[in-house]
Structure formats: structure tokens, C-alpha cells
Structure 1
Amino acid sequence: MDKVHESFAKLLSQHSLAIETQQLAQFETYYRELVAWNEKMNLTGITEREQVYIKHFYDSLSVSFFMSFYPIYSVADIGSGAGFPGIPLKIMFPHLQLTIVDSLKKRIGFLQHIVQELGLHGVTCVHGRAEDAARLPQLRDNFDLVTARAVAKLQVLNELCLPFAKKDGMFVAMKGADPSQEIDAAAFSLRELRAELTKVVPLQLPMDEGERHLIVIRKTGSTPARYPRKAGLPLKEPLEVKVKSF
């Protein structure tokens, strides 16, 4: 175990997470493949090894710092990009049944390669827009936990992600700096999509690598049939109270 792995394991142990040698090997393979593929397609602007472990791997696992993952069985990671946070969570909690949704076919190709290289089972990679995937009967109202990491503003994310969560399931939006304005703007979308804000968890990445906030939302009922709207519309016309002009 080298210094990067020692530091990573120590940081996780501070959150009661014990990482095994095989899991460290999987993270290292993930890192090497990420950097290699990044040379031919844009996956990440972060390639320095220690920073990948902190800003991608540790950051992804931060979802598990405040909630137990052992009652959680099914996870949907929406707009996963290079696999964050879904793949690190799957490495750390092998029992998870993970579904990744991403709109770019090249990224799905990378993720399928990673799943094979790491020997992961119970991972499904779906190529498509979230607005379309959420209409599939096998994905709609179906997951214990839905995640999204720095994809869009919260009122947009709510419409893209909440349709995947089951009733009483959770949606965690992973954000950087103080998201209070986003949360205020998303109040209408939460009511409209049958969900409620549970808490906001502030985090500081180790070695002063940045501020993070995890927005935790509980789904209180099935998604109304009209949501999500057709592809592109949630981003173009986010859900908000329309003010009439007289």
C-alpha cells in the first residue's frame, strides 16, 4: 500500500468505512483507465493521482458518510459522466444494484469497459436522456436511492432524477458551494414532483480541496404522469411558479 492508498484508507476510516485490498486495487485500475481513456475523450479535467482519489473517489463516497448503505439495494446514478458517484459506491458497497444513465454513447462505452475491467456485477449502463429513461417502466418509481453530481441546477435535477426514485426513496444532489439559493428556487418543483427536502449536509474535502454540500430529498409519492417533460424542456423551462402580469 503506497502513500496515496494509505491516506485514502485513513480518510475513509474516519467515516467508519473499512476498505479492503481488493477494493483499493479496483480503485487503482479505475484511476489508470480513467487517465488512459481521458487522452482520447473528455472525461475529466482532473488527472493527478492524489487529486483523483480525493476529488472523484472520496467525494463520490461522501454520500455514504451520513447514511447507511446496507438497507439500500438499488441505486440510479443520473448523468454519471465518468462514473461518479455510482462506480465508487459500487466498489465500496458490492451488494448495490447500480443503474447508470448517461446521454453520451462514448461515455457509456467507457463505463461498460470499467465495469468489465473491475469485475463488477449488477451494473446496468443505459444510454439515453434522463427524460426518456425515466419513462421506461423498469426504471420509473423504482430505486431506493438516486444520485446526481454537479449536473444542473436543483429545480432541473428534481425533474430529471426524482421520477427514478420509489416512494419514500431518496435523491441526493451533490453540489459544491452554498446551494441555498438553488434550494429556494426549487421549492415549487419539490411540491410538484411529490418530494420534500430532508436535510443539507455540508462537507469539506481533505487537504482544503473544496467545499461540498449534499442535498437530501425524500420522495413522498409517485411521480405525476406528466413528468418528466420531453427531452430538453426541463433545462430550457425549469419548473417554477409562473407570475402573471396584468
Structure 2
Amino acid sequence: MKREERTRGRGEERTKGRGEERTRGRGEGGRGRRKKGERKRNHRGERSSPEVTSKRRELREKKGKSGEGMMEPVEFWSICSVNGLPLSDEQMDLLLRYGEDLLFWNDQVNLISRRDTEHIWLRHILHSITPLLMKVMPDTGRVLDIGSGGGLPGIPMKIAAPKLDVTLLDSIAKKVRTTAMLASHITKHGLQAIRNRSEELANDSDHFGAYDVIVARAVAPLVDLMKWSEPLLKPDGKIIALKGGALTDEIDHARGKFPDAEIEILDIQLQGTEWFVKENKRIVRVSGMREGRR
């Protein structure tokens, strides 16, 4: 009888102790439950704005209806890490801020396709940095993003490779104003948005023959992109074009116009996702554009 009482007493003591620890933890700054009406905090401890919270709720509802899984930031981070590009907490914070800003302003300015907004981490942000993940472009130097729109791929590239000096180029004034604002939230150095046409930019001595890499994402046929880029590139500069679909005729046409250029077509193969392969997304890398002008 005494043994049974001692056993029961110990169990009650342990249960009581755990309850006190949980209560004390909440009182000393533990997470606990949010009060009614209190906005959820993000991973930085900041409360999201009502607009952002509403947008997240809308995207969750879309996810449930579509049956397609959205890529979450933690999955994005894991894919970057396993493919050789680990991102710091600060870089992830900047990407999260950029993604939230892009979704909010997209309703006002139409920066990306609205049918893709629930897949922003995979189809836009991860896609933008695939040239860095696949090591087909340097992580330093001067980069021009032609037809940048909402800052894709230039802003994610700048965040993932902070030593890049990135210029975001677009001809539409309202997009440039919005992109300049988005860029200002990321950094004050090495990231700028300008309004101009790519075929006219070479008239400015600050841009003629100034770029190590020119990037573009679904902007124009390759032959046009090469025409615009030629006077803007350094002698050993490269074009990195993110493209999809059938490319044979487009590549053949470009080779006919620029027979001395080296054009490579690279499949996007990343550990952790097969979406780029299934959707036939590829990187076209062009070099030797200005070799004769050294």
C-alpha cells in the first residue's frame, strides 16, 4: 500500500511540475496563444500588415482549391542549400520581404501573371536564381536585367549574390517606379532601376560595353536579345536567357545572324524539384558576342 502511494505521489508531482513549467514559460515570454484579433507575427517577430495577411489567406484558399502544393520558404531554402547555394537568415528575410511586396503591388501594377501568384517561390524566385544555382554565371560583376518588370530575375539574383551590381531595365514607367521602390527595400547599393529601351541604352556612355552579364526572362526572341545586348556587353560578356518551350527554330535563327557567337542550351536540373524539367524550362547562355572588339 505504501509503495503504491509513493508511486502515485511521484506521478502527480511530475505532472504538476510540467504544468508549472509550461505556465511559467508563457509568462516569461514563451509563445503561448495569440489574443483574439492580434495579427500573426512573421519569422522576424514583426506583425504582418492586414493587406499581407489577407493576401496570404487568399493564397492558402487557392492552394486548397487547386490541389497543387505551393513551395514554402523552408522548402526553397532547402533546395538552395542542397544545390550548393546556402542562404543566410538575412538573405531569406530579404526574399520574404520582396515576395510579399511583389504580391501586394502586383494587384496594382500587374508585374507577374496572376495565375502564378500562389507559386511565387518556385516559378518566380527560384527560377530567377537557377543560373547561380547551376553555376552558369558569375556571382560578382555588373549585370543588366533587360525587361525586368517586377525585378525578375534581377532582384532575387542580387539577394542571392550580394556582390553583383544589378541594373533593372524596363521601358514602362509605372513598372520602373514600382521596381525602384521594391529595390530600395532590399539595399541602397548595387541595385538600381532605370527606364529606357534596351536598343537605346548603348547611347549612354555609362552603359556602352559596361556589363559582364545580361539576363532576361521570357522577354524577346533570342536574336533580338542578342542585337540589343551586343553593344552593352564587355568583350568577354555573356547573355543568360531564361526560356521555355520549343527553342530549335529560335536558336537556329540566332546562329544564322550571329555565326561567331557560342550558344549553349542548358536544362535546369536541380536536386529537390522536377518542375523545371517537366515544364521544359531551360537556360540559354550566349558568349563570344564581342570577342572581335577586344
- With normalisation by structure 2, the TM-score equals 0.69
Q: CA deviation at 1:134?
A: 2.1
2:238 touches 2:289 (CA, 8 Å); kept in 1? no
Counterpart selection for 2:266 from 183, 195, 201: 201
- How far, CA to CA, are the matches of 1:118 and 1:92 in structure 2? 11
Q: Secondary structure at the match of 1:167?
A: strand
The answer to whether the aligner puts 1:61 opposite 2:129 as a matched pair is: yes
1:35 touches 1:47 (CA, 8 Å); kept in 2? no
Q: 1:189 and 1:72, CA in 2 relative to 1: closer, same or farther beyond 3 A?
A: farther
- How far, CA to CA, are the matches of 1:49 and 1:108 in structure 2? 20
Q: CA deviation at 1:21?
A: 0.8
Counterpart selection for 2:192 from 96, 110, 124: 124
- 1:93-242 equivalences in 2 (<5 Å): 93-191=161-259, 196-203=261-268, 206=273, 208=275, 210-221=279-290
1:172 touches 1:217 (CA, 8 Å); kept in 2? yes
Query: What is residue 160 of structure 2 aligned with on the other side?
Result: 92
Q: CA deviation at 1:166?
A: 0.6
Q: CA deviation at 1:198?
A: 4.2
- How far, CA to CA, are the matches of 1:201 and 1:46 in structure 2? 28
Between stretches 33-42 and 45-54, larger displacement belongs to 45-54
Q: How many residues align?
A: 221
CA deviation string 1:208-242 (max 9, x = no partner)? 36221111111342798xxxxxxxxxxxxxxxxxx
Q: CA deviation at 1:84?
A: 0.9
Q: 1:174 and 1:162, CA in 2 relative to 1: closer, same or farther beyond 3 A?
A: farther
Q: 1:69 and 1:151, CA in 2 relative to 1: closer, same or farther beyond 3 A?
A: closer
Bigger radius of gyration among the two: 2
Query: What is residue 44 of structure 1 aligned with on the other side?
Result: 112
- How far, CA to CA, are the matches of 1:30 and 1:223 in structure 2? 40
* Identity in percent: 26
**Structure 2: any 5+ residue segments left out of the alignment?**
1-42, 44-70
Q: Secondary structure at the match of 2:78?
A: helix
Q: 1:50 and 1:37, CA in 2 relative to 1: closer, same or farther beyond 3 A?
A: closer
Q: 1:223 and 1:26, CA in 2 relative to 1: closer, same or farther beyond 3 A?
A: farther
1:31 touches 1:49 (CA, 8 Å); kept in 2? no
Q: Tell me how large the CA RMSD over aligned residues is.
A: 2.4
Between stretches 215-224 and 27-36, larger displacement belongs to 215-224
Query: What is residue 9 of structure 2 aligned with on the other side?
Result: none
CA deviation string 1:65-102 (max 9, x = no partner)? 23265563111111111111110000011111111111
- How far, CA to CA, are the matches of 1:17 and 1:50 in structure 2? 24
Q: CA deviation at 1:207?
A: 5.4
Between stretches 153-162 and 143-152, larger displacement belongs to 153-162
- 1:166 counterpart letter in structure 2: K
Bigger relative contact order (CA 8 A; separation at least 6): 1
- 1:119 counterpart letter in structure 2: T
- With normalisation by structure 1, the TM-score equals 0.82
- 1:200 counterpart letter in structure 2: I
- 1:169 counterpart letter in structure 2: G
| Richer in strand (by share) | 1
- 2:249 counterpart letter in structure 1: Q
| Richer in helix (by share) | 2
1:202 touches 1:212 (CA, 8 Å); kept in 2? yes
- 2:226 counterpart letter in structure 1: N
2:230 touches 2:290 (CA, 8 Å); kept in 1? no
